[in-house]
Structure 1
Amino acid sequence: MKIYDITLPIHPEMLHWGRKPEVEVVESLSAGDASNVTRWRLGAHTGTHVDAPAHFRDGATPIDEVSLHSLVGPALVVDLTHVDGDVEPHHLEEGGAAGHTRVLLKTSNSAGPLKETERAPQWVGLSPKAADWLIEHEVELIGIDYLTIESHHRTDTWDVHHSLLGAGVLILENADLDQVPAGTYDLTCLPTKLVGADGSFARAILTTRD
C-alpha cells in the first residue's frame, strides 16, 4: 500500500488565514517536570481542514455531525495545474469528475502559494458555476490545495461557500497534493470531533493498493 499524506504540518510559522497557531510549554522535562506538556491555541480552520455547513449557515450541520461516509472512500484527484484563475465546469468535466463522490483539485497552488508562509495575493479557486456543477453531480466532498476554495476576488461575498455548504457539500481546504499524481485513491479524512463547530483541522491521507 502506498500512502500520500496530504496534510499540512501545523506550527507557529505556517501558512494561515488570520492568527497563526501559538504554542505554550506547560511542563517540560528540562525544567524538572515529570513530562513534556504543551498547550496549543488553534483556529478550527488551521492547516488542512474541513468546512462544515455550519461554517456559513446558523443551525446547519456542525463538524461533529457530518457523515463520515462523505469523508472516507474512493476519491478522484484531478490535475488542474494548467488552470489560471477560476476552475470552471468544463475543467471538471474534462478531468472526469462526473460520477465521483469525492473530488480533490490539484492546481498550481500545491507547488506555489501553498508552500509559502504568507497568504498570496491570488490563487486558483472555484467559480460559482463550477460549484453549481458539483452540486448537480451530487459530489459530497470537494477539496482544493489552498487556504480557501473561494477565488481571491470573491472573498467578500463567499459565493462558492454559500452554494456548496448550503447544499451540504463538505469542503476540504489546504490539501497538499503536490506529490500526488492524478487518479483514483482511497481517501481517509478525519476532522477532529469539535462539538458544534463550524469546521475542524484534519489528518487526511490518500492510499493506493497494488
Structure 2
Amino acid sequence: MRGVQLLFLLQLCTSCVLTLAVPRVPVPKRREVYGNGRIFDITHRVNAKMPTWGSRDGLGQFVWLVASMKNGSLVNASEMKLSAHTGTHIDAPSHNYEEYYEAGFDIDTLDLEVLNDNTQRILRLQSKITKSKTMIQRHYFLLLLLFTLLHSITASSSNAAYPTVDDDCSCGASSTDDDLLLFPERNEVYGNGRIIDISHRYVSDMPSWNSEEGIGMFIRLFESLKNGSIANFSGFKLSVHSGTHVDAPGHVYDHYYDAGFDVDTLDLEVLNGNKLRTQCCWSSTVIVPRESNITAEVMKSLEIPKGVRRVLFRTLNTDRKLMFKKEFDTSYVGFLEDGAKWLVENTDIKFVGEFSTP
C-alpha cells in the first residue's frame, strides 16, 4: 500500500489543490495580529541580517534549497543551519546550568502549562494587579516562583540530543551530586488534558525522507561552560521537512516558492484554535479505517460536518509507529488524489495533518 501524502494548507489557495494554473502572481502577506486581536504573533522572522550572539555580521545565510522542482524534484526541500540561540526562542535549563546540561535538560523538558495560558486569565491578572499594591507584590512573588520553576522542570531526554565537546563530558547522565539528583521526565499531557503535546522530539534516529539512516547527527555543542564560555551554545543542521512541522506553500508549489511564501505567511488563526467549537471554527481528530489510504470513499464515510476547519487524521501510521523507526518507510498511509479532491469540494476544512503518538 503506497499513499501519496498530501498535507495541504488549503486556506491559501483552495483551487490550487486541483490545478496548477495560476491566474496571477501571488503576493505573500505577513501579519502580526489575527482574529481582531485574538492572536498576536510576537516572533521575529528569521533572516540573514538578524543579530546573532558574538557576531557583527548578523546571522548570514542559514537556509539552502537542496531539492528543487525546477530540477525535477517532487517538491522544493530546504535545509537550515543556525544556532539554537537565534531569533525568538526559549532557553533550555541546560543553556545556563552545567548540571542540567549533563542531565539532559533541553527545551523538551519545559512545562507547557507554564508557557501557555489564555488571554482571559491574563486580563484578569492585570486587573487584579491594578487594584492592589499587595496583589502586585504577590504576583511578583508568583513570577519569581514561575521563573524558578522554568529552571527546575523535569522531562526525559537522550544522550544523543546533546553530544559532547570533550571526552570528559557525560551528557545525558543524571548528576551524581549528593545534594542534587536530576531526573529528567517528559510529559505529553499537561493540566489534566488542557494541553496535549503531539510533537515528536528530535533524535538522531528520527526518520528522514528517503533515508535509511534517519536524520543523523543534527546538533552540536560549539561553546561550553566547562571550557570557559558564559553559557552552553548549540548549533543544529537539518532539513526543514523533519519531525513535527508545517509545510510552507512553497514546498509543493513552485510559483509560491518563487513568490516567497514561507511558513511566516501562513494564517495563525487557521492553525490555532480550541478543540471545541468557537465561532463556527471547529477542530477535530478523526480515525481513518485501518488498511486504507484516505480516498474519496473514506472521506465520505468519516462524515465530517460542515464548519470543521482543522482536522488531524489518526491512521495506521500511528499503529505502525513509523515516526519511531530510523528507516524511512514508503508504504505510509496518506491522501490519494480523489480523497483530496473530495475534501476540497465537500468540506470547509482549511488545514489537515496527522495525529501520530506512541
Q: TM-score, normalised by structure 1?
A: 0.63
Q: CA deviation at 1:121?
A: 4.0
Partner of 1:116: 325
Aligned counterparts, 1:78-117, within 5 A = 78-80=286-288, 82-99=289-306, 100-112=308-320, 113-117=322-326
Aligned partner letter, 1:5: D
Partner of 1:38: 234
> Are the counterparts in 1 of residues 206 and 323 from structure 2 also a CA contact under 8 Å?
no
Q: Deviations over 1:55-108 (max 9, x none)?
A: 12234232111111210124211112x321411123223223242111111011
Q: In structure 2, which of residues 262, 271, 290 is the aligned counterpart of residue 62 of structure 1? A: 262
Q: In structure 2, which of residues 272, 280, 294 is the aligned counterpart of residue 72 of structure 1? A: 272
Note the residue ranges of structure 2 that are not aligned, 5 or more in a row.
1-190, 274-281
Q: Distance in 2 between matches of 1:105 and 1:142?
A: 8
Secondary structure of 1:87's counterpart equals: coil
> Are the counterparts in 2 of residues 83 and 124 from structure 1 also a CA contact under 8 Å?
no
> Are the counterparts in 2 of residues 92 and 98 from structure 1 also a CA contact under 8 Å?
no
Aligned counterparts, 1:1-210, within 5 A = 1=191, 2=193, 3-17=195-209, 18=211, 20=215, 22-60=218-256, 61-73=261-273, 74-80=282-288, 82-99=289-306, 100-112=308-320, 113-136=322-345, 137-144=347-354, 175-178=355-358
Aligned partner letter, 2:222: V
Partner of 1:157: none
Q: Deviations over 1:114-167 (max 9, x none)?
A: 2212212412111111111121123110112xxxxxxxxxxxxxxxxxxxxxxx
Note the residue ranges of structure 1 that are not aligned, 5 or more in a row.
145-174, 179-210
> Are the counterparts in 2 of residues 7 and 48 from structure 1 also a CA contact under 8 Å?
yes
Secondary structure of 1:50's counterpart equals: coil
Q: TM-score, normalised by structure 2?
A: 0.38
Q: Deviations over 1:10-63 (max 9, x none)?
A: 122212224725112111122232211100002111101111221122342321
- Residue identity (%): 27
Secondary structure of 2:319's counterpart equals: coil
Higher relative strand content: 1
> Are the counterparts in 2 of residues 85 and 123 from structure 1 also a CA contact under 8 Å?
no
> Are the counterparts in 1 of residues 205 and 325 from structure 2 also a CA contact under 8 Å?
no
Secondary structure of 1:119's counterpart equals: coil
Q: Where does structure 1 differ by over 3 angstroms across 4 or more consecutive aligned residues?
A: none
Higher relative helix content: 2
Aligned partner letter, 2:227: A
> Are the counterparts in 2 of residues 87 and 130 from structure 1 also a CA contact under 8 Å?
yes
Q: Distance in 1 between matches of 2:316 and 2:342?
A: 21
Quickly say closer, same or farther: Cα 1:176–1:35, change in 2 above 3 A: same
**Higher relative contact order (CA closer than 8 Å, sequence separation 6+):** 1
Partner of 2:134: none
> Are the counterparts in 2 of residues 106 and 177 from structure 1 also a CA contact under 8 Å?
no
> Are the counterparts in 2 of residues 6 and 177 from structure 1 also a CA contact under 8 Å?
yes
Secondary structure of 1:101's counterpart equals: strand
